[in-house]
Amino acid sequence: MRSGPPPLVSSVVKTRSATGDPVFSTVAHSPIFVQTPAVRWCTSQLVGSGGSLQRLYAARATRSVDVPTGHHPFVARPDLVAEQVLALR
């Protein structure tokens, strides 16, 4: 969450920090995908967040992959996931 768009993060942190929930008061570190090669999946059949939001988050990864699946590409198309994971080596 802390690696999201700054206005969104600021809004959520202000709202949630008041609850005293430690997950929102912990010092943020660089997301792992900034330090380590990563793939972000963009699924064409996902209706919840839409393609543009997926691509916004995917832009921060080493690369993004569009796959013709719904929310769980590793269930629907494990062959595509395995191919991309092996390509990270």
Query: What is the rounded radius of gyration, in angstroms, for the C-alpha atoms of the chain?
Result: 15
pLDDT band at 20 (very low <50, low <70, confident <90, very high): low
pLDDT (tens digit, 9 = 90+) per residue, 24-76? 555 555 555 556 666 666 666 655 555 667 777 777 777 777 777 777 788 88
| Confidence (pLDDT) at 25 | 57
Q: Which position has the higher pLDDT, 76 or 15?
A: 76
| Confidence (pLDDT) at 51 | 61
What type of residue sits at position 24? F
> What's the CA angle centered on 36, arms 2 and 82, to 5 degrees?
105
Tokens 């997926």, residue located: 54
Question: Which letter, b or e, does each residue of 10-37 get, where b requires 16 or more Cβ atoms within 10 Å of its Cβ?
Answer: eeeeeeeeeeeeeebeeeeeeeeeeeee
The segment with the largest mean pLDDT, out of 3-7, 23-27, 76-80, is: 76-80
| Confidence (pLDDT) at 86 | 86
User: CB neighbours of 5 closer than 8 A, spacing ≥ 6?
Assistant: 56
